[in-house]
Structure 1
Amino acid sequence: MPRLNLTAVTEFTFEGFSVFGWQHRLVLFAVFLVLYLLTLASNAIILTVTRLNRQLHTPMYFFLSVLSISETCYTVAIIPRMLSSLLSPQRAISIPHCATQLFYLAFGINNCFLLTAMGYDRYAAICNPLRYSVVMGKRTCLQLASGSRSIGLSTAIIQVSSVFSLPFCDANVISHFFCDIRPLMQLACADTTIKELVTLLISLCVLVLPVVLIVISYVLIVSTILKIPSARGRKKAFATCASHLTVVVVHYGCASVIYLKPKSHDSLKDRLISVTYMVITPLLNPVVYSLRNKEVKDALLRALGKNPLS
């Protein structure tokens, strides 16, 4: 039966972490603020070091710089609003602002395909070292980075258009701390089955396709490394892939838990899982590359005026 006397929604309200008391929210604010500032600082350091050190002007660090910019934009789109809602009783957001925030998807999808491009770079460096400079030329790197950005933006446009073509009536409380697809669809006063299937299909393509390409790259990489006669050579080759592989496992592991899991009735649990992905994962990427990558550590020490050999 059609629903009568429905009022069109003009703004949404975040439920956020309102279930927690003021003191708990204050603690969460302090923790998230510190993590956010560390994320901004670590990504800024990666960008500065790779920019100033000519030894890091290689395809691998070009993609790392682009990833740092994308991760920064990703966190800026979500975390400041979340921090504000932890302290302020006013947690309303207009529909245009909500649609704008949903474009965080463009950066998230861009990150997925950037990690794929970085996997291809490692494949070219290890499996085709003599042709590496030709295969991974400046033009190729720019095309891969632009392609990742284009896929992310076009997919986000499709998703945002799909969600906000739905009618929203009466219910306007989003069971989340930011505008996301699933919580928004739950508020729609129309059948969302088809749109949910389309969203699931897009999520599968965005997550599964890059993973498959990365796995293929690493199968070829491992088979090549195992043919290296010296143990030292094999160890060095594996070391060049360790940082990227660690970031891939963390990124896709968290993303799969959020976007491919079945519907849950425990919205608080979903929010806590999302916090891990939205706040902690962007910090892990630059930290992993800084701590596990000797070239970055040496460049950072030189920037601080210290001798890397000491």
Structure 2
Amino acid sequence: MLMMDECRPSWLQDLTRNALDEDLGVAPAATGNLQGVPPAGRDVTTAAIFDSAQRAQAVLVAREPSVVAGLQVIEFALADVQARFGLAQVAVELLAADGDLVEAGTELVRMEGPVRVLLTAERTILNILSRASGVATATRRWVDALAGTGARVLDTRKTMPTMRELDKYAVRAGGGTNKRMGLYDVAMIKDNHIAAAGSIERAISLVRAHQPDVDIQVEADTVEQALAAIDAGARFLLLDNMPVATMRQAVAAIRSEEQTTGRVELEATGGLTLANAREVALTGVDYLSVGALTHSSPIVDIGLDFVA
């Protein structure tokens, strides 16, 4: 059974295959292949310098302090290259696990096998591993900033197209929490929806009538909107771009009604930075949603080095 903290193997395998297709291209000699049989492509530099029998040991090294994420990709990339070119397998020893906080210079993985496999798979491995580790590392900074406040950091849908599962997995590896995966699993009523429906109440009513089985979240820009949404039955509110003083007022007003309404989950969103994260969390919200986790996190510098 797939664990919640893993990427789906089939999805990651497809991602890796597509990345290798992009890197290796179509070898001219493969032009006449049968329909439906993908060409292996080629690494013109590695194939020219190394023969198929040459072997080496290599390590993947974190060149800066970071949180590791995406190690699953290694087995898929190596196996794909090995199968494409009919080469021997690479032996892999994991020295770290996803979610580990490591220092600069830490060896993450040791590998031994054909040089052609190691070098041909290198960039695909590093591209995916460095991106995922970058998201995980950025997320951990937010987790640390919120420690002790009771609030958690959430991601958003601002992910790299076709790589959402990896981005959201990396957030989990960094200690963060996933919000909705897409448009299909949670109804999020935002300002444009409210304007089109005519009111918060009507927007909620329409969603409930059409999709009674999905959770509803409502965006509110003011205290008045927040209270109106609760009166209409919303139990998860996004407090959007509110000044801290206004957010504190909104939280107090909502919490004072919870004996009647039941628990209301509150999410701060918009204008959040590491510098103001703790102040916002201490207003009493449950979550801070941060698009920058996945749309702006720099990659982690990870390298592959041959060893004697």
Structure number with greater Rg is 2
Decide: shared fold, TM above 0.5: no
TM-score tier (shorter): under 0.3
TM-score by length of 1: 0.24
Could you say which structure has the greater relative contact order, defined with CA pairs below 8 angstroms and 6 or more residues apart? 1
Higher fraction of helix: 1
